[in-house]
Structure 1
Amino acid sequence: MTGWTAEDMPSLTDRTVVVTGANSGLGLEGSEAFARKGATVVMACRSVERGESAAAEIRGAVPDATLDVRECDLGDLANVEAFADGLHEDYDAVDVLCNNAGVMAIPRSETADGFETQFGVNHLGHFALTGHLLDLLRAADGESRIVTQSSGAHEMGEIDFDDLQHERSYGKWDAYGQSKLANLLFAYELQRRLGNHGWDNVISVTCHPGYADTDLQFKGPREMGSTLRTAFMGIANAVFAQSAEQGALPMLYAATADDVIGGEYVGPGGLFDMRGAPEFQQSNEASRDEATAERLWAVSTDLTGVEYDFESA
């Protein structure tokens, strides 16, 4: 993988790639890279207006880009289902699903369905979306991939089944760490279930961007109304972060590289795993606890009402 860049991606002509959070940051960079390689990119965005603006930006760099901007609010399960229904109407298959969108370290709030926002958007929204699109992924010609974006912050996470929504006690970083750990537990459990049901043409892979300069770091301070914290994040990003373009590379590698197998975890291999070219890495022991993963899957099914039907699909 040494020196691997987006230019090393294979041709994606006739491939359909769905990217959540495609209007900014890693999602925007990833969408442009997929489009540059010939993919039809479904840009799943909470705001269609911002999505169309991002698509115009991509077309400025890639004039022949094939982009489909659609509303997908991961904080509203009915909206997620409507998005999936729309894809079923207009597409026969999905080749890559990038579960990329997320929120980080924000003051406590709730989704439309009453979930703590970080857990609801980062984990439950993607759990529901993936379940709704399972049959389209199965229908792909050749191997399809589900790429779930996690974070090094999973290492400070703990799945608190007694207070998943952090109603009794809320720490913004604790909640973020829990959601990122949940991403990994979900992705690994999904790979086990795909294998157990003989779905050899669909694999589940995870990744993390290291420390990338995106708008994600600013959302929390802005919602808190903290000018000082916002300024501090700007300085930290300028000094320590790699670009969003570089931060998107692990997702692009996980989605397209020919040596990727189900259950892999891809991240930047440079200083403290915060920057550099993508490489295969190991997430922490908690993320690979199968008992916790099975319990989280059951709870997620109950909370979202989304059943993964491996048999009929």
Structure 2
Amino acid sequence: MTRLPRTGTTLVELLVALPVALLVATAATLLLLRIARTVHAQSARLASSRELRQVSVMLAGELAPLRGEDLLVVSDTLLAFQSPLGVLLLCDRSAPHAVVVAVPDQSADAWLAGVRPGDRVRGWQTTTTPVDTPVATERAVTAPPSVVGGTGCGTDRSTTSRRWRVPLDSGAVPFSPSGPLTVHRDVRYRHYRSGSAWWWGRQSRDGAVWDAIQPVAGPLQAAALGGVRIRLLDATGAPVGPLPAPASNRRGRIAMAQVTFSHRRRASRTPQPVIDTVTAVMPLRATAYRQRP
């Protein structure tokens, strides 16, 4: 009788192989979990940095047209300034408490319809003495602008853009005839607390009140822990120190603002939050500066 060869595995071999296979599977699972955690942490870090950089770009766009004297308040919890809205050409100042203006170069004037009470119209005032230096002056807008009839604007009456009537606060209109005007609005960014988290938010003035604050970044570190740090720099990149006052003394001294954001995010392996930091240097009025070593 012929004996057939034995096939398959014995019970002993199975008892040895199963623990080995379990150890290999456990090691592979732990490796995959570690890779997944690393990828998740890297993605969270990139998302945090991307958010802070986007906020920095947005803030830099608002600060770029400013001069040092446009800054009103600068601290680690509040950044307030007069944001320029546009440029106007003075057509007529004979109306009581109002001016008739047009947007120069026939450019789009849709923004002018959005001017609201509390915005400031800034221009120049000259006296009858030719040698006198023009003096900067401004008036507050008291009502939304409206389109008026008539054509011609400027010294040669050649501008054909739409004419707008802008109501101003009481007092004689001090602006020089046929001069350029600029419109500004008070804007502020605040490092504020909402619930248990700190945020960076934006507000603009509407008449005598401020709009509801709109969060633009967060959650950040608490104010006492440096969630936002703001420094003023001169044209060489050296710190200027606290905001100099009055505004006339700030001309030419403040060239840049250095803003540092510290973002709080939860980590999967530790109960303590992870802090991501982004620092941006924002030139004012496209000021060229020399980088210090």
Which TM-score bucket, shorter chain as reference? under 0.3
Q: Give the alignment's TM-score, normalised by structure 2.
A: 0.19
Structure (1 or 2) with the greater strand fraction:
2
TM-score under structure 1 length normalisation: 0.18
| Structure showing the higher helix proportion among its residues | 1
